[in-house]
Amino acid sequence: MPNWVTNKITAPKHVIQAMLNADGRIDFSTMAPFPGPNDGWSGIAMDAEEAAQIICRIPMSDHPLIASLEAGNRSRFDIRKLSEESFKQFVGMVENYRACGYLHSMDFNRKVWGTKWNACEPEADPEAGTASFETAWNCPVGVLVELSKRFPADGITVIYADEDIGSNCGTFSLLAGEMVASDEAPSWCDMSDADKAKWRAFANQVKGRKPDPDDE
């Protein structure tokens, strides 16, 4: 299970409205849509993805052990063993990569959105200029940068906090797609005791949690 990050957005009414899809739900695809021609597969076939990675010369992992495993798998790969469904998906991935540099929407989401899934538990109040949602592992900075680029004259303020209280949290402001101010927690191991207390209190407030007595 991922760590869930709470994200709270403050922006003008029309910016908040631009975060919503036709159903009135916060939808990252309205802000940063996948640019490839093929999408909507019910799942990613691992063998199709591996074939596309080979053909498109996608670099292997930076981790030596994982890279060794990937190299072994690639050396043994036989495209003739792909099922018809996997082969069609493989072709679609290659078409996507040729068009936009991403094999599929999940690949795009991880690299551009900053999180592989769409917004969870979304709430939006355009009149108040606020929105909130949960994301897996990270604040979706890339999505919000793309939104900011669409409204270069309007400031967007973001507050976020991981459920790992005190880590991966902070606030930043965007203008014209650029981060113009930020106050974000450093790595936990680089924090002083005072820093840890500060960021735990911040995260608890964002999450709406009571402080853990063990953290006092």
DSSP assignment of the chain equals -PPEEEEEEE--HHHHHTTB-TTS-B-HHHHS---SS----SS--HHHHHHHHHHTTPPPPSSHHHHHHHHHHHHH--GGG--HHHHHHHHHHHHHHHHHS-SSHHHHIIIIISSSS--EEEEEETTTTEEEEEEESS--HHHHHHHHHHSTTS-EEEEEEESSTTSSEEEEEEETTEEEEEEE---GGG--HHHHHHHHHHHHHHHT-PPPGGG-
Same domain, 16 and 51: no
- Band (pLDDT 50/70/90 cuts) for residue 203 is very high
Same domain, 124 and 27: yes
Same domain, 17 and 77: no
Same domain, 89 and 192: no
Same domain, 93 and 189: no
Measuring CA to CA, which residue among 172, 102, 163 is closest to residue 136? 163
CB–CB of 20/14 below 8 Å? no
- Domain-located, residue 107: no
Residue 213: what pLDDT? 62
- Domain-located, residue 108: no
Query: Is the pLDDT at 115 greater than 70, yes or no?
Result: yes
- Domain-located, residue 109: no
- Domain-located, residue 126: yes
Same domain, 191 and 140: yes
- Domain-located, residue 110: no
- Domain-located, residue 120: yes
d(CA 124, CA 132): 6
How is the beta sheet containing 130-136 ordered, strand by strand?
Answer: 120-125, 130-136, 4-10, 156-162, 169-175, 178-184
Number of structural domains the chain divides into:
2
Same domain, 204 and 130: yes
Query: Is the pLDDT at 215 greater than 80, yes or no?
Result: no
Domain that holds residue 123: 4-34+115-215
- Domain-located, residue 76: yes
Same domain, 58 and 16: no
CATH number (domain holding residue 15): 3.30.70.1270
CB–CB of 179/172 below 8 Å? yes
Of the chain, the percentage scoring pLDDT greater than 90 comes to 82
- Domain-located, residue 40: no
CB–CB of 175/185 below 8 Å? no
| Model confidence pLDDT, tens digit, residues 129-145 | 999 999 999 999 999 99
Does the pTM exceed 0.75?
A: yes
